[in-house]
A and B are shown apart, each in its own frame.
Chain A
Amino acid sequence: MTESYLGEFEQLVLLAVLRLGENAYGVTILDEIRRRTGRQPALGAIYTTLARLERKKLVSYRIGDPLPERGGRRKKLYRLEPRGAEALGRAVEVLTHMIDGLGKKQEAH
């Protein structure tokens, strides 16, 4: 399979999953992105992205316990896969390369 590039929102979701560790599921991921970026993504957008990441095998999940505040429903808890970490690393790397030296050139102008 060819290397896939990550979209911006995909990066945000992957980073949130990474930060949240054992407690990464729809609501917490949404919260995390909101708190750190000030954006208000819809739950649906997060689920769509997670499903895509899951297909690309960048994240995996396990099923949590049922909880009363969720109407007795269980959680789907996500975890970063090694390939996901790799993809994130690559994205950061690409970005760094693109930014690298940018300051100097601008000065030269």
Chain B
Amino acid sequence: MSRLPRLPRALLKRLLPEDEREFILGDLEELHTSRSASGESATRVWLRTWRETLVLVAGRRRLAADDNRMEKKGDGIVSSFWQDVRFSFRMLGRSRAFTLTSVLILGLGIGANATIFSWLNTVLITLLPGVDRAQELVALMPVSPMRDHTTLSYPDYVDFRDRTKTLEGLVVSDDITVNLAVDGEPERVWGQLVSGNFFDVLHVKAVLGRTFLPEEDRERNARPVVVISHSLFTRRFGADPEVVGRDIPLNGRPYTVVGVVPPGFQGSEVGLAYHLWVPMMMQESVLPGANRLDARGNSWLDALGRLKPGVGIEDARAELDTIAKQMAAERGDDDQRRGARVTWLAQSPRGAPSVLRPILLALLGLTAVVLLIACANVANLLLARAAGRRKEIAVRLALGASRGKILRQLLTESAMLATLGGAAGIAVAYFASGLLRELAPPTEFPIGLALGVDARVLAFTMALALASAVVFGLAPALSTIRASVVTPLKEEAAGVAGGGRKAWLRSALVLAQVALSLVLLVAAGLFLRSLKNARAFSPGFDPKGVLIASLDLFPSGYTSPKGRAFYRELLPRLRALPGVESVSLARRVPLGLGGSSSSTIEVEGFVAPKDDPAWTYINNVGPDYFRTIGITLLRGREFTDADDAQSPPLAIINEAMARSYWAEGDALGKRFSFGDPTSFTVVGIVADSKYRSLDERPAPFTYLPVLQYFRPDVRIHVRTASESLAMAASVEREVHALDPGLPVFDVRLLEEHIGAAFFQQRMAGSLLSVMGALTLLLAAVGLYGVVAYVVSQRTREIGIRMALGAAAEDIWTLVVRQGMWLVGVGLILGIGAAAGVSHLLRSLLFGTGPMDPLTYAGVVVLLAGVAFVACYVPARRATRVDPVSALRYE
């Protein structure tokens, strides 16, 4: 026996009311059976069953509509709303080209905004994925008379943590990289060394096992435990729950996995993804250098607190500042400038928010301009379309529809367009949100941006879509109704003046478009020029032709003597490679996002003011460093292979340092110390160069020999005569020849690395160029539309003029002049607006002011040129008007 096909049956089961289901399905089954038995072809029976199903569903809806009508007789608004929506759908469906164009334009405008918002959402609102209410987290930083730090020492942390009453909890963390060797394959994994309360304060619960116990935050170096990320759990351990309780080797020492955190959670630094967490007490086994937990002078921890419910950030600021002053006073330091700085995590001066916040806010503002231009374009399209609908609306008004009802109807149409545009915008954002990852600067840190479209982005986009519906819909709707009150039957009589008001509105819209495009193009131009300036700017060293590659000996268990020996063996091997000009090592690479080290110093023969102690940035570098990186050696000598642990302590300083602390006389041969008995002799002075950013002022800088002051984490620098990147494999081979298990990572060109210094300009320049091109196109289309419209309105006039003997040129000039007049006014307004906007962008520009004449001139010429073409085409058509047929048109 043939049974009812599955899909119709399932559909009906779902859609029919329960009390009817049985009888209807029964009837259908019976019909189906009898039809199958009657020898009808299977296809026919199948088709008929489907038809029955669909009619049944439609019938149910009709009955439900009956019910609604009966129930809601009084409730006119809701039903007439749906009526409006249905009617709008029909109207939009009737003019597909219009609908499609509008949705496309709106989709791009809204999509651009949704994309930038999705980035903002990730970096500044969501902040830490997987963390409950991360917006309530605050960053705590000490303030000292000398310079602002962003990090705390461990003893300071403990004091803050134990004394605060405004914070629910305070946590600290530092990045670590460890060698994880599971089943042979060693891997370098980023993790965090965290205080024991870390997961509790962030409100993160383990999905498997547990997080840290109080005693794991007390006993030093005694409890090697680790919590791992969900992605490490699936990737490295095949999501085997048995991993909890298992020992895994980190830097060769077995750690017990005690828990797995939920998917999504990636740590406490915005934009970075870590994969394991080790309690603070294990510091000595995961961070190079000896125990740091007792040194109050050593600031190295990022602190994050959560406000208690009901406590404002101002309260916390006041309290923590007081605590900081108390802590200093207890140690005999009464300087009132000591204190604490508390900011929301989203406004923290460290990490991704600090880098991305200014640029994202600027971009959001500029994409709003794109949306305004898109709205102006759609408004123009609506106006053009309204001309065709005037009769329809006049008839409806004559039949007694109120103006309010028609206005509502027209606005509903706009809202529908906007909703469709919003949906298209979400699609754009869905695909474009990942772009930020491509635009992010090269960095050694584990970037982990959880980009995408979430509920907040959806809500933002839809709100934006509806707001734009009002922006682009209201004026055309009002104007259409007004125009329709004058009987369209008089249309012909109205003649040239007929479209007057509307032409005026359309002209205003084009004017706005031209002005807004100019703003956007000027912004794009300024960023592109900044980028060019930044690229051309000499940072005081020569990044071209230098390859860098990172090594970290610490996780592989190297001691200082062993590490020094390793460097000493490695350097000659690298120097011997064909094509290599020179080779060196350095702990820090300038102009990345990699951070810096600095210290206060005591200089022989220099008395620093009490509140402004002498200080310097520090880098540990190898022999030939200055030759390799291209910093000019002014006096003295470079470090050599001989400057090692056995020789007396040496330093090379920059000019700024020599000037600051040895203003009179020669710094060469003079001595200074870092506050301990070891005294360093200056053996060389080098030119100043840029260390942290391109626009910094020269600051004191000290280079120490890495063979003397050993650091296990260094970047190999190789200057080559030719293809530098091609050298990467040889460098790696030489390293592995000495130690096959030692990972070589972050291999890249120095040029690429310092790109991070101007990534904001690059990001803004490339995004705004795309948006600028888009808006230029939109403005051109809008202008073309207006000029073409004016030409069509003036056909008769032109015909008369030509009949009276006007030459084609005269007509041509007439039309173009009218269009270009609009453009001219738009450009003037645009220059004013652009000047205002670019002043706001000033801090993001490099090597160019907000009023760069070349940029403005270039953009004006470009816009005027495109506008001319947009006017030219319809003007040409005007000259071909046949006077006779133009007059007969009436």
Residues in A lying within 8 Å of B, measured CB to CB: 25-27, 30, 42-45, 47-48, 51-52, 63, 67, 69-71, 73-76
Contacts and interface: CB of A to CB of B under 8 A. Distances in A.
B56 to A, nearest CB: 4
Contacts of A74: 22-23, 26
Nearest to A29: B27
A60 B52 CA distance: 24
Interface stretch (B29-37, B452-460, B721-729, B780-788): B29-37
B289 interface: no
Contacts of A27: 27, 30-31, 34
A44 B52 contact: yes
B23 A48 contact: no
A73 B23 contact: yes
A73 B51 contact: no
B384 interface: no
A26 B30 CA distance: 10
B49 to A, nearest CB: 10
B62 A75 contact: no
Interface in B24-61: 24-31, 33-34, 51-60
A70 B26 contact: yes
A47 B25 contact: no
B884 interface: no
A76 to B, nearest CB: 4
A44 B31 contact: no
B62 A48 contact: yes
Given A27-B31, A52-B66, A71-B3, A47 B26 contact: no
Contact of B24 (A26, A30, A63): A26
B63 interface: yes
A51 B63 contact: yes
A75 B23 contact: yes
B31 A43 contact: yes
B360 to A, nearest CB: 55
Contact of B59 (A30, A47, A70, A75): A47
B23 A44 contact: no
12 contacts: A26-B24, A26-B27, A27-B30, A43-B27, A44-B54, A44-B56, A47-B56, A51-B63, A69-B30, A70-B29, A73-B23, A74-B23
Nearest to A76: B23
Contact of A43 (B4, B34, B52): B52
Contacts of B59: 44-45, 47-48, 51
B31 A30 contact: yes
A52 B33 CA distance: 28
Chain B residues touching A, majority SS: helix
B57 A44 contact: yes
Interface of B: 1, 3-4, 20, 22-31, 33-34, 51-60, 62-63, 66
A27 B708 CA distance: 99
Contacts of B34: 27
Which of A26, A67, A73 has the most B CB atoms < 10 Å from its CB? A73
Given A48-B59, A71-B3, A43 B28 contact: yes
A59 B55 CA distance: 22
Given A27-B30, A71-B29, A42 B23 contact: no
A45 B27 contact: no
A47 B62 CA distance: 11
Contacts of A63: 23
Nearest to B34: A27
A70 B51 CA distance: 19
B29 A73 contact: yes
A58 to B, nearest CB: 15
A48 B31 contact: no
Contacts of B63: 48, 51-52
Contacts of B3: 71
Contacts of A26: 23-24, 27
A71 B26 contact: yes
Contacts of A30: 31
Please list the 4 inter-chain residue pairs (A to B) with the smallest Cβ-Cβ separation, ordered nearest first: A44-B55, A73-B26, A48-B59, A26-B27
B111 to A, nearest CB: 42
B24 A47 contact: yes
B34 to A, nearest CB: 8
Contacts of B22: 73-74
A91 B56 CA distance: 27
A74 B60 CA distance: 20
A45 B59 CA distance: 7
Nearest to A45: B55
Contact of A69 (B28, B33, B53, B56): B33
Which of B25, B30, B33 has the most A CB atoms < 10 Å from its CB? B30
Nearest to A41: B55
A27 B52 CA distance: 12
B736 to A, nearest CB: 73
A73 B33 CA distance: 14
Given A27-B30, A27-B31, A73-B29, A42 B55 contact: yes
Given A42-B55, A43-B28, A73-B29, 14 more contacts: A27-B27, A27-B30, A43-B52, A43-B55, A43-B56, A47-B24, A47-B59, A48-B59, A69-B30, A71-B26, A71-B29, A73-B23, A73-B26, A75-B27
Contacts of A51: 59, 63
A26 B27 CA distance: 6
A68 B31 CA distance: 13
Contacts of A76: 20, 23
A75 B60 CA distance: 19
Given A48-B62, A69-B33, A75 B26 contact: yes
